[in-house]
Amino acid sequence: MKYLDEYRDGDLTRKLLDEINQTVTRPWKIMEVCGGQTHSIIKSGLDQLLPPEIDLIHGPGCPVCVTPLELIDKAIALASRPEIIFTSYGDMLRVPGSERDLFSVKAEGGDVRIVYSPLDALKIASQNPDKTIVFFGIGFETTAPANAMAVMQAKNQAIENFAMLVSHVTVPSALTALMESPDVQVNAFLAAGHVCTVMGYWEYEQLVEKYQVPIVVMGFEPVDIARALLMCVQQLEDGRAEVENAYARSVVQGGNLPAQDIINQVFERTDRAWRGIGVIPQSGYRLQKAYADFDAELRFPEIQTIAPQEPSVCISGLILQGLKKPNECSAFGKQCTPQNPLGATMVSSEGACAAYYQYGRYAIHLGENEMTQ
């Protein structure tokens, strides 16, 4: 399989890892921002093959995980209404709210439907004019173009029974918040390749200049990851801070300009709450005034009074900030499992806790202490 197998080449991956071993001379903390990359790293065992000087920190780049509890509760409230058909990507249905999740609403008779595109939700709206169809529009910049297109089409086609519950956030804002935090210690970032495919990496250049932290755009296969890590280590050891692109087959500096254009036509920047982290100024998108009629929170203002209740034992906020590893949580694999999750990081397909659980990372610090179960 050309263009796939070569990025899973074991010999090339080992060669790159050997070069990392030969290059590194001191401890470095490197954060992979994307939860999908976390899963690739844990699944392939790359974290266990790196020299002990390299500490991989898992970042907040899982859109399901950072969706605030308040918005999950709002989604559940909307999905419970008989006049609403609530549509969402499948990985949101198991995310726990304060008391239950969307699957529970569906089991109790709520019309909750899994869709694979916001355009599927728009089609459902056309077929059900007597219902209001709400689409749960979450994600980073990767899903924003398709969601923007759905809203634009709803307006152009006068589909008035369509609305979107928006929870879009942006990666550069999260990196800024992490670098401004007195608690977070990150020496370099591995940027999410799919986000950069849409947005490019020009936004990171000012972050590198301001904070003097290397940022390397990384793909998702073992060779991609090992190459990006090597580039990161080389920068750190040389005392350089630059933006480098280790995912050139997909990413260019300027990104996908038509995709950016559709985002800018429909959305505008706003403050957004991140689950476990708090409000980050100007870190997300909301619908512009011209599309406000399609904003579910404005159409159903009564959901604004919902007050969430986070489980006290869950440390997903610390995990999303890279301050803790999943297996350092007292509830991990015990009170919190994929069957009974306390937080989104355990059920999301990009959640760090889910990766650790699925691939057996129960031992704290990879064997330095006894197994936790």
Give pLDDT tens digits for 250-308.
999 999 999 999 999 999 999 999 987 889 999 999 999 999 999 999 999 998 877 77
144 vs 347, which has greater pLDDT?
A: 144
If you ran DSSP here, which 8-state letter would residue 332 be given?
Answer: B
For residue 231, is it within any domain? yes
Confidence of residue 369 (pLDDT cuts 50, 70, 90): very low
For residue 312, is it within any domain? yes
pLDDT, residue 340, reads 87
> In the predicted model, is pLDDT for residue 208 greater than 60?
yes
For residue 373, is it within any domain? no
CA gap 228, 40 in Å, rounded: 13
Give the neighbor-by-neighbor strand order of the sheet with 267-274. 112-114, 84-88, 132-139, 162-169, 278-287, 267-274
For residue 48, is it within any domain? yes
Host domain of residue 41: 1-357
> In the predicted model, is pLDDT for residue 1 greater than 80?
no
pLDDT, residue 264, reads 97
Angle at 270 between CA 194 and CA 101, to 5 degrees: 70
For residue 362, is it within any domain? no
Confidence of residue 372 (pLDDT cuts 50, 70, 90): very low
Let me know if 257 is exposed, middle or buried by CB neighbors in 10 A (0-12, 13-18, 19+). exposed
Confidence of residue 140 (pLDDT cuts 50, 70, 90): very high
Q: What percent of the chain has pLDDT over 70?
A: 96
Q: Mean pLDDT, to the nearest integer, of 222-236?
A: 96
For residue 363, is it within any domain? no
What are the residues facing 184 on neighbouring strands?
none
CA gap 118, 247 in Å, rounded: 28
> In the predicted model, is pLDDT for residue 371 greater than 80?
no
Q: What is the pLDDT of residues 313-323, one digit of tens each?
A: 888 889 988 88
> In the predicted model, is pLDDT for residue 43 greater than 70?
yes
pLDDT, residue 351, reads 92
Count other Cβ atoms within 10 Å, centred on residue 10: 10
pLDDT, residue 361, reads 85
> In the predicted model, is pLDDT for residue 368 greater than 60?
no
If you ran DSSP here, which 8-state letter would residue 336 be given?
Answer: B
Confidence of residue 2 (pLDDT cuts 50, 70, 90): low
Confidence of residue 373 (pLDDT cuts 50, 70, 90): very low
Write the DSSP string, 57-79.
EEEEE-HHHHS-HHHHHHHHHHH
pTM listed for this prediction? 0.90
Count other Cβ atoms within 10 Å, centred on residue 304: 10
For the chain, what is the domain count? 1
Indicate which CATH number applies to the domain containing 161: 3.40.50.11740
Q: What is the largest CA-CA distance in the chain?
A: 66
Pairing outcome for strands 278-287 and 162-169:
antiparallel
For residue 336, is it within any domain? yes
Mean pLDDT, the chain, as a whole number? Answer: 91
Q: What is the pLDDT of residues 145-191, one digit of tens each?
A: 999 999 999 999 999 999 999 999 999 999 999 999 888 889 999 99
CA gap 190, 56 in Å, rounded: 10
For residue 70, is it within any domain? yes
CA gap 204, 217 in Å, rounded: 10
> In the predicted model, is pLDDT for residue 141 greater than 60?
yes
pLDDT, residue 91, reads 87
Q: What is the pLDDT of residues 51-70, one digit of tens each?
A: 999 999 998 988 889 998 99
